[in-house]
Chains A and B, each alone.
Chain A
Amino acid sequence: MLLRYTFHRLLMLIPVSISISIVIFMIVHLLPGDPIDNLIRIGSSPEDRARLVTKYGLDRSLISQYFLWITSMLRGDFGDAIVLRRPVADLIAQNLPYSLTLGGLAFLFSSIFGMILGTISAMTRNRLVEGFVRGFILLGSTVPGFWLALLLILFFSVQLGWFPVSGARGWESLVLPVATIGFGGIALVARVTRVALLDAQREDFVTLLHAKGLSRGTILCRHLFPHALLPVVTILALRIGWILGGAVTVEFVFGRPGLGSLLIRALGQRDYPVVQGSLLMLALAVMLGTLIGDVAQAAMDPRIREGKS
């Protein structure tokens, strides 16, 4: 049953989350030098150092440090940013909504238009249309995201002045970033939808559907689509991470606030509390997305629900 499946998946998520948190936790300790130096400003007073050593438990064993880290986070304390001198939790809370908006919009945009494009490409007999879509898919999958972003800025913002170059004010500043991520996202979804529909058409049961006298339209909507949706949802579930990754790049290029740009700036500044916090949030987002995708898959395919697939 669906609930049991969801529960089961949630359970599986726990060891995964723990492993990832361990990896992220170890970042500070794998770097050369004294871990404390990676967590505080250069030139801090000895008192500050001592305070932070106690706070992060650096005088204790690795394992107890890890638990301290985890429990603090569960309480909402992600440490303090070195450069900005604010609690990391604040920074995350501030940036999260922007990432969610961008990610969510990009996801919707890619899914809807990708499926439309993929369906057209699979069902059309027109060679030109099919070729055009295939070309679009190729470009979308290969062009580097940040370069596309720069091109779009160059053309639409600089030359045409339609949209702002950077920042996050109003819906105009969302258009280009969503378009950038969407370009790759649409290509991905379109490709999978197209292949899925073409495959579904070749299944044995389709012959019988025709033999029953059903029209092409009915067969497409009521039978082919649900089948095609399965691999699409699978890919979307797996590639939610990809779309998030695209968001990371895009935030940086467009100078938008968000977890992605926060992370990249922090990496450049060696601000490790921020790095750890944002990495953890991004990782959790990916896992959550994957979970939702898995559950959606199970909801659509009775065979998966019962573990037969």
Chain B
Amino acid sequence: MTMSDNPRRSLAARSFHAFGRMNVSRAFRSVVGKIAGGFIILLVLIAVFAPWIAPFDFAAQNLANNNAPPAWPHLLGTDEFGRDVLSRVIYGARTSLSVSATAIALSVSVGMTLGAAAGYFGGMFERAVMTVVDLTWSFPDILIALIFVAILGPGLTSTMFAIAIAYLAQFTRLTRAQIVRLKRETFIEATINLGAKPSHILLRHLMPNAIAPVIVVGMLAIGDGIVLEATLGFFGLGAQPPTPSWGAMMSSGTAQLFLSPWVIIFPGIVVAVTVIAVNLFGDELIRALDIRDRLREA
């Protein structure tokens, strides 16, 4: 009997499917949702198709034409090496998005597993996990990132791990809170009484219900991750040249702050607008999926 045949599908299966289909599209109904969501999709497309969209090679230097203000053909000007700012911003999107998204994906997977296990099995294990998590919870993401950069050295990989660890606490706490809440539901009690194994209960019933808030928070975390990556890049501890990163561009541009401020302004605008779009869309998503109260607990 497949799930679609069975008219009395479990709450878990129903909400899981619901999340996948209808409800997400509801986030696009409002004007804000359309604009913010549209921008995000546009950004992802730009990142994916960067090589075809960027007018210039991001590493192509042209010292004769450095620090040029925005004009044709360099629509956003050039940096101190004569590289086209627009192309670097476009390629920077690739770096920032991929690093942040990968980091968060990693963080979510580990965080959800830890949180679910902690919440489900409880006892000493839960306390141990939550103590460690709470430890990192009060630390600013930048500090945690710096600790990891200290250990792993500067570079994109350490940036990625730094971002992943910095937000791990969030997902662990959130998942645990969901699991603990769901554990108390009668339908779980019933499933246990029917003799289901813990793995079955976790995978089939608890996780699908817990997923929605985590996905949304994950999205918001990608936004934070982008800022974190830019900050680390700005400190010179992130992507190393010539890899274009929004943060690193602004870092090297500081020296030229007075001469060519556009090297700093444009990447910054892109970062800011991206994060704003992510946050606005995240809010719409929260409203569409109606999970505001679930997020309060964590």
A residues near B, CB below 8 A?
A: 15-16, 19-20, 23-24, 26-27, 30-31, 138-139, 141-147, 150-151, 153-154, 158, 237-238, 240-246, 248-249, 252-253, 263-264, 267-268, 272, 275, 279, 282-283, 286-287, 290
Contacts and interface: CB of A to CB of B under 8 A. Distances in A.
Contacts of B258: 158
A20 B135 contact: yes
Interface string B272-298: 100110111000000000000000000
Contacts of A241: 138-140, 143
A270 B54 CA distance: 36
B257 A154 contact: yes
Contact of A23 (B141, B147, B275): B147
B254 interface: yes
Contact of B150 (A27, A154, A240): A27
21 contacts: A24-B147, A27-B150, A138-B276, A142-B272, A142-B276, A144-B230, A144-B268, A144-B271, A147-B268, A147-B271, A150-B254, A154-B257, A238-B138, A246-B140, A249-B231, A252-B235, A253-B254, A264-B235, A268-B235, A283-B139, A283-B143
Interface of B: 131-132, 135, 137-143, 146-147, 149-151, 153-154, 223, 227, 230-231, 234-237, 250, 254, 257-258, 261, 264-265, 268, 271-272, 275-276, 278-280
Nearest to A237: B138
SS of B interface (majority): helix
A279 B276 contact: no
A82 B150 CA distance: 15
Nearest to A147: B268
A15 to B, nearest CB: 8
B271 A287 contact: no
B279 A141 contact: yes
A248 B143 contact: yes
Q: Which 9 A-B pairs have the closest CB atoms?
A: A245-B140, A147-B268, A142-B275, A245-B142, A241-B140, A144-B227, A290-B138, A242-B140, A143-B272
B254 A268 contact: no
Nearest to A268: B236
Nearest to A26: B151
A150 B140 contact: no
A134 to B, nearest CB: 10
A206 B14 CA distance: 38
A148 B279 CA distance: 18
A290 B150 CA distance: 24
A87 B142 CA distance: 26
Nearest to B134: A16
Nearest to A143: B272
A245 B272 CA distance: 18
Contacts of A143: 272, 275
A244 B231 contact: no
A144 B100 CA distance: 15
Given A245-B140, A267-B235, A286-B143, 7 more contacts: A19-B132, A144-B227, A146-B231, A146-B234, A147-B268, A252-B235, A279-B147
**Residue among A23, A144, A248 facing the most chain B CB atoms (10 A cut-off):** A144
Contacts of A154: 257, 261, 264-265
B107 to A, nearest CB: 18
A144 B265 CA distance: 12
Contacts of B150: 27, 267, 272, 275, 279
A9 B264 CA distance: 45
Nearest to B233: A146
Nearest to A20: B135
A142 B235 contact: no
Contacts of A242: 140
Contacts of B223: 142
A228 to B, nearest CB: 15
Contacts of A16: 131, 135
Contacts of B141: 245
A150 B143 contact: no
A26 B151 CA distance: 8
Contact of B272 (A144, A264, A286, A290): A144
